[in-house]
Amino acid sequence: MLVGDMKRILAGIVCVIGLGSSAAAQDITQLEKISSVASFTKTEKAITFDCQDHSQVRLTVLAPDLIRIRAAFAKALPANDHSWAIAKDDWNTPRWILSEMADSIVVSTDEVEIIVHRSPLLIEFRDARTHEVINVDEQPMAYDAKGTLAGMMFDSNAGMFVAASKTLGFDEHFYGLGEKAARLDKRRERFINWNSDTPGYTEGKDPIYQTIPFYLGLQHGNAYGIFFDNSYRSYFDFGHSSQQRAWFGAEGGEMSYYFFYGPSMKKILSRYAELTGHMPMPPMWALGNQQSRWSYYPDTTVEEVARQYRERDLPLDVIHLDIDYMQAYRVFTFDTKRFPKPKDLSEKLGKQGVKIVAIVDPGVKYQPSVPINISRGRSPSNPELDPQDRRYYVFDDGLSHNYFQRRKSGELFIPKVWPGDSVFVDYSLPEARRWWGDLHRAYLDNGIAGIWNDMNEPSDFVDQTGKNQTDVVSYDEGENSTHAKNRNVFALLEARATYDGLERLQPNKRPYVITRAGYAGIQRYSTMWTGDTNSSWESLALNIPMFTTLGLSGEPFVGSDVGGFIGRGNGELLVRAYQISFLAPFCRNHKVIDGYDQEPWRFGKYYEDIIRKYLKLRYQLLPFLYTSLEEAHRTGVPLFRPLVLNYQEDPNTYNLDDEFMVGKDLLVAPVQRPEIMQRLVYLPKGVWYDYWTNKKYQGGTMIRVDAPLETVPMFVRAGAIIPLGPQMNYVGEKSFNPLTFEIYPDDDGSAATTLYEDDGVSPAYQRGVFRRTIIDVKRAKTGYVVNIAAPTGNYNPGPREFSFVINSSPTPKFVRIADEGRGRTIEIR
Ligand code: GLC
């Protein structure tokens, strides 16, 4: 055996032993590097470099702060350039110039300067104004020409490994990458993207459900972003395997990435939203409290849950129906005994302000049609088969149209999921997506208000890794590509089919979809939750880093099963979980089938009373949350934020992930460990008010605060105005009347906010039917002057009152006026 072979085998063994299936030990220095530039051509938008080894590299200027790099190794770039993630490809080319130097070619926009070194071919990004280096290749882009990594690849037929490597900054921090069971700052870590069903995951488990190959780098207060738009199994290493480099690569597909320059993280997130799509506004009730269980049945149990909520004066907007509502797990059916009249149920619940969201898994029961008289062959004690047991229309229709996934051989791919043998739809087929979307009529006709897409990694009980699916083919825009390319986009396309279907079937209502898996762009179609967590303190401590990381990855509408999904929780854990999730966009208590009951009242009155306090506060804060949600929709900047997003100049925030902010005004420091009644809180520079006492703190330091179980430490930024509505138990129970503006003046006596409102249900906001009201406050000689600007937009919320409360002292000053929908100035003395 040659020494080289031995080394390779040893490397393989190390992978198997040390990393299991998540082998990320690829040594990218061994790969073939793209050779030097031989010549280049320029068009209005791009420069294409022809390399000595016949590779091609294209640099496209999309915006002054957005550059795309695309490379084909030892061949010309293919004409086909399709990505499911991209929402916008018609960019107006900004001003840019090209300068040719002896050793390099320099492209300059108003914001970024890209130096392409000819030999070796290294790409360097600099700030166009300061010329400071932001990001630079550590080695030329590389590919596995010799199949060095073939044995280490998950699917050796996937394609050729491609990689790009960047010099790791001595003080560089990394954020994003979507759903990762990891801390906020990803420096020195490495990750794999391969959508995986990972129940009971704990910190460090990787990969889990989603793939968002987008990250932010931050050094010296300047941020950049990289979106590696490659749906194959991909790898990101932020200085884990070497002190020198941060690299990314994939087991096939193109080296194609987008480089975003900030320097502000918020600006990058806005561009990312422009490129991959904005989250549409969900209905306002999606911000309401939600309750779920695997599974509530029969229908009377669902009614009882709603009744308990109302009787106990606990707010609730949604109950979820998990898989047992179906007839033998057949999607688009209702069990005729457990839910004989789903429409009546949704109407009954609707009268109490409660909506139903139903789970829809991608696994369609494999059920070839059988003659009606099959019942003769059955046991005489069960002669009557339900119609769905005789013939399953979804299977029949899908099969006759050839919408189901097949293996390369042409055989149907038959995974095992909840219904047993099942089939998956090829959602990359446009007509299959349309068909799937239309099937949702079965739910809408029964008053179901939203759809929960689960198991869409896609999970297959035969083999969760995807090995059982490697030869499954997807249409993929005519490419007929295999699983290696399509797994990570399966959920994106399913959610797209669902969202588009709901939109088509109910054009006057905003669709509400929740997904478990996803790929970049998923925010266009769906909200998400973080899958099967544990009812444990360790799992709870992942909430803040995961929600904030998802927000930094283009997914603003996130949440986790409140109280944890698997295992046995307790009252204290549940309360602490609500003290985080009452401000998360998605607030849903959910529990596994054999888990301990954990509805808010299950651990006794003491805990229930505290949970009520936070749920009530969530509903009062709806005007504030909704305004922040609209900002996320419009700008891509999430509402649930890590402090670094608001204070990126402050290194104290770089790995701070046990506190979070909602928008830019509210800072929350929950307790995430048992029996802790005090904690340290970092307050960034500026003045902060304790939300509960109005006590003022000077920021830029750590403070120690009391945090008994009843109280989550919460602070308001001086200069903020927080709009609140009345207490209510479901969205729409009352109008926002009076609207109370809690004013927290800064040292100069100023405060300001912008309130966003619309009808909360229809897509009319997209046509300008909203109202935006700017309110600012200044200190005057004898009190404060409140200026309400004339609102913009065409939405009219009707007559109501505005209350203003100046919270500058423990005895707030207060004034109430009628809102006449016009600008005016008032004084508070
Ligand atoms: C998956 C989901 C979980 C659901 C269960 C049954 O484990 O993640 O939320 O309750 O399937 O549908």
- Ligand 1 atom nearest to 532, measured from its CA: 8
Q: Is 197 in the pocket of ligand 1 (CB under 6 A)?
A: no
Q: Which of 6-10, 44-48, 376-380 has the highest mean pLDDT?
A: 44-48
CA of 514 to the centre of ligand 1 (A): 12
| Structure-block tokens of residue 364 | 């369609």
Give the pLDDT mean for 336-342: 96
- Ligand 1 atom nearest to 359, measured from its CA: 12
CA of 566 to the centre of ligand 1 (A): 10
Say what the pTM is: 0.95
- b/e per residue 393-432 (b: at least 16 CB within 10 A): bbbeebbeeebbbbbeeeeebbbbbbbeebbbbbbbbeeb
Mutational pocket test of ligand 1: of 294, 360, 456, 591, the residue with most ligand atoms within 8 Å of the beta carbon = 294
Catalytic-role residue among 197, 299, 389, 457 = 457
Rounded CA separation 206/620 (Å):
38
CA of 787 to the centre of ligand 1 (A): 50
| Structure-block tokens of residue 221 | 């207060």
3-state secondary structure of 754: strand
Catalytic-role residue among 426, 532, 561, 742 = 532
How confident is the model over 100-110, as pLDDT tens digits? 999 999 999 99
Beta carbons of 588 and 317 less than 8 angstroms apart: no
Q: Is 294 in the pocket of ligand 1 (CB under 6 A)?
A: yes
Give the pLDDT mean for 797-806: 95
CA of 567 to the centre of ligand 1 (A): 14
Rounded CA separation 93/64 (Å):
8
Name the β-bridge partners of 720.
744, 752
- Ligand 1 atom nearest to 459, measured from its CA: 1
Q: Is 532 in the pocket of ligand 1 (CB under 6 A)?
A: yes
Q: Is 323 in the pocket of ligand 1 (CB under 6 A)?
A: yes
Give the pLDDT mean for 202-218: 98
- Ligand 1 atom nearest to 323, measured from its CA: 12
Q: Among this protein's residues, is 454 annotated catalytic?
A: yes
Q: What are phi and psi of 411, to 5 degrees?
A: -65, 150
Distance of CA 769 to the CA centre of its chain: 27
- Ligand 1 atom nearest to 361, measured from its CA: 12
Residue tagged 């797994």 (tokens): 487
CA of 361 to the centre of ligand 1 (A): 10
Nearest to 339 by CA among 326, 323, 354: 326
Rounded CA separation 496/478 (Å):
19
Residue nearest to atom 10 of ligand 1 (CA): 294
pLDDT at 553: 98
CA of 37 to the centre of ligand 1 (A): 52
Q: Is 531 in the pocket of ligand 1 (CB under 6 A)?
A: yes
pLDDT at 386: 72
| 380 has a pLDDT exceeding 60 | no
| 448 has a pLDDT exceeding 50 | yes
HSE-CB at 34 with a 13 A cutoff on CA atoms is: 34
pLDDT at 384: 58
Mutational pocket test of ligand 1: of 455, 464, 598, the residue with most ligand atoms within 8 Å of the beta carbon = 455
pLDDT at 14: 36
Rounded CA separation 671/675 (Å):
9
- Ligand 1 atom nearest to 455, measured from its CA: 1
Q: Is 124 in the pocket of ligand 1 (CB under 6 A)?
A: no
How confident is the model over 687-737, as pLDDT tens digits? 999 999 999 999 999 999 999 999 999 999 999 999 999 999 999 999 999
- Residue 782 or 291, more confident: 291
How confident is the model over 322-331, as pLDDT tens digits? 999 999 999 9
CA of 417 to the centre of ligand 1 (A): 11
| 157 has a pLDDT exceeding 90 | no
Q: How far is CA 560 from CA 69, 530, 534, 628, 677, in A?
A: 35, 5, 10, 19, 24
CA of 359 to the centre of ligand 1 (A): 9
Mutational pocket test of ligand 1: of 324, 359, 593, the residue with most ligand atoms within 8 Å of the beta carbon = 359
**Helix residue ranges per DSSP H, 526-648:** 537-540, 543-551, 571-581, 605-620, 622-635, 643-646
3-state secondary structure of 267: helix
CA of 591 to the centre of ligand 1 (A): 9
Give the DSSP H/E element, type plus range, for residue 10.
helix 3-19
Mutational pocket test of ligand 1: of 454, 530, 566, the residue with most ligand atoms within 8 Å of the beta carbon = 454
As a whole number, the mean pLDDT across the chain is 94
- Ligand 1 atom nearest to 293, measured from its CA: 10
Q: Is 359 in the pocket of ligand 1 (CB under 6 A)?
A: yes
Give the pLDDT mean for 788-809: 94
Residue tagged 């969900």 (tokens): 282
| 261 has a pLDDT exceeding 90 | yes
pLDDT at 813: 85
Mutational pocket test of ligand 1: of 292, 532, 566, the residue with most ligand atoms within 8 Å of the beta carbon = 532
- For residue 385, what pLDDT band results from cuts at 50, 70 and 90? low
Of 377-391, 555-569, 767-781, 811-825, the range with the lowest mean pLDDT is 377-391
Q: Among this protein's residues, is 532 annotated catalytic?
A: yes
- Residue 452 or 24, more confident: 452
| Structure-block tokens of residue 758 | 């619309």
| Structure-block tokens of residue 126 | 């600099």
Residue nearest to atom 3 of ligand 1 (CA): 532
3-state secondary structure of 350: helix
- For residue 814, what pLDDT band results from cuts at 50, 70 and 90? confident
- For residue 371, what pLDDT band results from cuts at 50, 70 and 90? low
- For residue 78, what pLDDT band results from cuts at 50, 70 and 90? very high
Residue nearest to atom 4 of ligand 1 (CA): 294
pLDDT at 13: 36
CA of 454 to the centre of ligand 1 (A): 7
| 7 has a pLDDT exceeding 50 | no
Q: Is 516 in the pocket of ligand 1 (CB under 6 A)?
A: yes
How confident is the model over 138-149, as pLDDT tens digits? 999 999 999 888
| CB proximity list for 311: less than 8 A, separation 6 or greater | none
CA of 228 to the centre of ligand 1 (A): 30
Catalytic-role residue among 65, 172, 324, 454 = 454
Give the pLDDT mean for 655-674: 98
Residue nearest to atom 5 of ligand 1 (CA): 294
Strand 290-291 versus strand 255-261 pairing type: unpaired
Give the pLDDT mean for 371-394: 61
Give the pLDDT mean for 370-394: 61
- For residue 92, what pLDDT band results from cuts at 50, 70 and 90? very high
How confident is the model over 634-652, as pLDDT tens digits? 999 999 999 999 999 999 9
- For residue 18, what pLDDT band results from cuts at 50, 70 and 90? very low
